[in-house]
Structure 1
Amino acid sequence: MTAVFLGHSSSPLPAEEPACSGPQTVTLFRHAPLLLDCGRVLSDVRVAFHTYGEAREDATLVLHALTGDSAVHEWWPDFLGTGKPLDPSNDYVVCANVLGGCAGTTGAGELGGVPLTLRDMARVGRALLEHLGVRQVRVVGASMGGMLAYAWLLECPDLVERAVIIGAPARHSPWAIGLNTAARSAIRAAPGGEGLKVARQIAMLSYRSPESFSRTQAGERVPGVPAVTSYLHHQGEKLHARFCEQTYCALTAAMDAFQPTRADLNAVRVPVLVVGISSDVLYPAAEVRACAGELPRSEYWELDSIHGHDAFLMDPQDLPERVSEFLNR
C-alpha cells in the first residue's frame, strides 16, 4: 500500500492543504427520531464532518470508504484542491463520518449491536445536508463510498443531481461477502485487537492484485521475513491503532446486506459515472460494469492498472480529469 488512502491506509498531508472547516460535530434527530431499517429508533445522533469552500445550497458530497473518515484533505490529495475534481474555490465540498463509524459520528459500540444499513447512513447524511442548508448534491464515492452512493441514489433521489461511483458494485457478490465473513470471523475469534489485525490482512490482499504485490512486495525487508509478510503485519498494526472492531463488523455487514434489485437501479434517473478497475479482484471490472448497465443514464469508464482495487489511490492516472469533466457538465 502506498501512502495515500481512501479508508485503506494512511497518508501524509499534501504540501498545501485546502482551507477546511472541521472537524465539526452536530447532534441531529433531537426532536424527531431516526427510524432505522431494522425498526429501531435513534435520537440525538452525533455526526462529525468537514466542509471545504463557501457554504451554498448546492454541494459535492464525498462518501468515504470502509476505514476512512471525513477529513478529505488528509486522504485524497489527488482529488481535493484548486483545479481538481473537488475544488473548494468553486464548490462547497462536504464529507461526514458515517453512522456506525469511529471518527466522531455515533459509533457501532454506542449503538449496542443494532444492525445498520447503507440506507440508514444515507438518511443521516440527508439530515446533515438539511442542517447545512444544502438542497442539491453531486455525490462522489469510492469503494464502500461507492456502494453508499448507490444507497443515496435510491434513498434520496430528490437531492442527487449526478453521481460518481469508483471501484464499487451496486451489491456484494458471494466472493465479497465471503471475504467479509472471514474478516468478521477473525474479529470474533480473537476480540481485543488481534482479530482486527487479521481482518485487515485479509482485506489488504483483496485491495491489491498478484502483479501489484510482485512489483511492490517482492523480496525481504527484514532478513528471513518476506516483504509481503512484514507489510501485512504493519497494515494490521496500523488499523488496530486507529480503528474499532465493532465498527468494522457493523459496516461490512451493512455492505453485505445491501442488495438492490435491477428494478431499483432501473428507477434511477440521474447521470452516473461508474468507474471499474481492470485488475480489481475485490470488485472485478466486469461486475462493476454490469451494475452500471442496470442504471438508465450511466456511463462506464475503466482505469487500466496492475494495482487492483487500490489503483484509484496508488495509480489514478486520468481518473481525476475524467471525474472533473463529468461533474462539470
Structure 2
Amino acid sequence: MTAVTLSPDLSPPPPPERCFRQQTALLFRQAPLLLDCGQPVNDVRVAYHTYGTPSEHAVLVLHALTGTSAVHEWWPDFLGEGRPLDPTRDYIVCANVLGGCAGTTGPAELPQIGSGDAPLTLRDMARVGRALLEHLGVRRVSVVGASMGGMLAYAWLLECPDLVDRALIVGAPARHSPWAIGLNTAARNAIQAAPGGEGLKVARQIAMLSYRSPESFALTQAGTSHRRPGAPAITTYLEHQGEKLANRFCERSYLALTGAMDRFQPSDAELQTVRVPVLAVGISSDVLYPPGEVCGHAALLPNSRYLELQSPHGHDAFLMDPGPLPAWAAEFLTG
C-alpha cells in the first residue's frame, strides 16, 4: 500500500446540499501522486458527488467504464431514501476516476500517461480515491462497484485494506480473461485506426454486443428499425449507441481506462489476503464476464458470498433489470 500525503492548504470539503451538484477537489498540490508507472503527478483534480451528511464512515460507489460520479442519474433503483444507498442513513461518495473525462484529471492533462510506456492502473485510481476520502474526513468505507467499478473495488481491497469494511462487487471479475482483453483490444484498435470519433463509435458498438446477450437483443432489437425504415433494428441501435458515446466521451480516456482494466491481473495469492466480507453478484446471461468467472474469483476470497442475478439482458442487467439486486445490496450493506 502506498501512503498518501495531502497538502495542508486544502480547503475544507463543502457542506452537504440538498441538490445533487458535482464538487471538485484539488489534491496532491505539494507532495505528488506517484503512479505505478513511476511518473509523479501534482495538482490532481477530482470531480465527485456526495449524498447525505458527512461522516467518518461512507459508502463509496465506484462507477463503470463510461459512467460518472452522478449516481442519481444512472442508478436510480439504488439511490434514495429506503434504498440500498440511502442518504438519510449513509454518507455516499462517488468520484470520477483518474484518466476519465467527467471532470477528474484526464489524458489531456496527463499527456505522458496512458501510453504503452506510462500506463494508468486501477491501483493509481484507488490511491486518488483514498486521497479524496482523506480530504473529506472519511476514515472507513463500504465499497460498492459494478462492471469496471467492481474491478476497481478489487483494487481498493488490495491497495487500501485498512480503509475498507466490506465490498459489494456486481458483474465483475478480479481480472480480465483473454476474451475480455480481446474485446477491448478490438475496440482500441478501432479507435486507433479511425481517430477523431469514428473509431470510438465502432468501439462502442463492439462493447454493446458484449454488454447485452443474444436473448436480450432478440427481445428488444428484433425486426426492422423505427429510426431508419428497412434497416435491421439492431443495426440502427448499435449506430445510435456509438453516436451517443462519441458525443460525450473522450477516445483517449477510453484507451487509458480499458488498458488499465486489462493490465489489472492480481494473483490468486493476492486475492486470498482479502479478509473483509465481500458479496459478489454474477449475472446469469453475462457474456462479457460469465457468472462462473465472477464466482470463481470471488471463491478465492476467504470471506466471500456469491449470488447470481437471473436476467436475459446480459452484463447490463445491473442497470436495466436489477430484480432482487437492490434487496441483496441493502441486506449486505446494513448487515
Q: TM-score range by the shorter chain?
A: over 0.9
TM-score, normalised by the number of residues in structure 2: 0.92
Whole-Å separation in 2 of the counterparts to 1:81 and 1:97: 20
Give 1:241 shift. 0.4
* Equivalent residue, structure 2, for 1:106: 105
Q: Do structure 1's residue 154 and structure 2's residue 158 form an aligned pair?
A: yes
The alignment partner of 1:112 has SS state of coil
Whole-Å separation in 1 of the counterparts to 2:290 and 2:21: 35
* Equivalent residue, structure 1, for 2:255: 249
Q: 1:314 to 1:243 in 2, by over 3 A?
A: same
Give 1:113 shift. 4.0
The alignment partner of 1:83 has SS state of coil
Between the two proteins, the alignment pairs up a number of residues equal to 312
* Equivalent residue, structure 2, for 1:287: 293
Which segment drifts farther, 222-231 or 45-54? 222-231
Give 1:109 shift. 2.2
Name the aligned partner's letter for residue 105 of structure 2. Answer: T
Name the aligned partner's letter for residue 152 of structure 2. Answer: L
Whole-Å separation in 2 of the counterparts to 1:36 and 1:104: 19
The alignment partner of 2:22 has SS state of strand
Which residue of 298, 307, 315 maps to 1:301?
307
* Equivalent residue, structure 2, for 1:65: 64
Q: Do structure 1's residue 83 and structure 2's residue 53 form an aligned pair?
A: no
* Equivalent residue, structure 1, for 2:44: 45
* Equivalent residue, structure 2, for 1:318: 324
* Equivalent residue, structure 1, for 2:12: none
Deviations 1:28-85 (A, max 9, x none): 0011100000000000000000000000100000000000111111111000000000
Q: 1:19 to 1:54 in 2, by over 3 A?
A: same
Name the aligned partner's letter for residue 38 of structure 1. Answer: C
Question: How do 1:115-194 and structure 2 match up within 5 A?
Answer: 115-194=119-198
The alignment partner of 2:161 has SS state of coil
Alignment RMSD: 0.9
Question: How do 1:221-232 and structure 2 match up within 5 A?
Answer: 221=225, 222-232=228-238
Which segment drifts farther, 108-117 or 205-214? 108-117
Whether the 8 Å contact between 1:50 and 1:71 is mirrored in structure 2 is yes
Give 1:19 shift. 3.5
The alignment partner of 2:24 has SS state of strand
Q: Do structure 1's residue 217 and structure 2's residue 221 form an aligned pair?
A: yes
Whole-Å separation in 2 of the counterparts to 1:239 and 1:116: 22
Whether the 8 Å contact between 1:139 and 1:162 is mirrored in structure 2 is yes
Whether the 8 Å contact between 1:20 and 1:53 is mirrored in structure 2 is no
Q: Unaligned regions of 5+ residues in structure 1, if any? A: 1-17
Which residue of 266, 271, 284 maps to 2:277?
271
Whole-Å separation in 2 of the counterparts to 1:42 and 1:223: 51
Moved over 4 A (4+): none
Which residue of 256, 262, 265 maps to 2:268?
262
Q: Do structure 1's residue 31 and structure 2's residue 37 form an aligned pair?
A: no
* Equivalent residue, structure 2, for 1:11: none
Whole-Å separation in 2 of the counterparts to 1:19 and 1:213: 39
Q: Unaligned regions of 5+ residues in structure 2, if any? A: 1-16, 114-118
The alignment partner of 2:145 has SS state of strand
* Equivalent residue, structure 2, for 1:5: none
Give 1:20 shift. 4.5
Give 1:195 shift. 0.1
Q: Percent identity?
A: 75
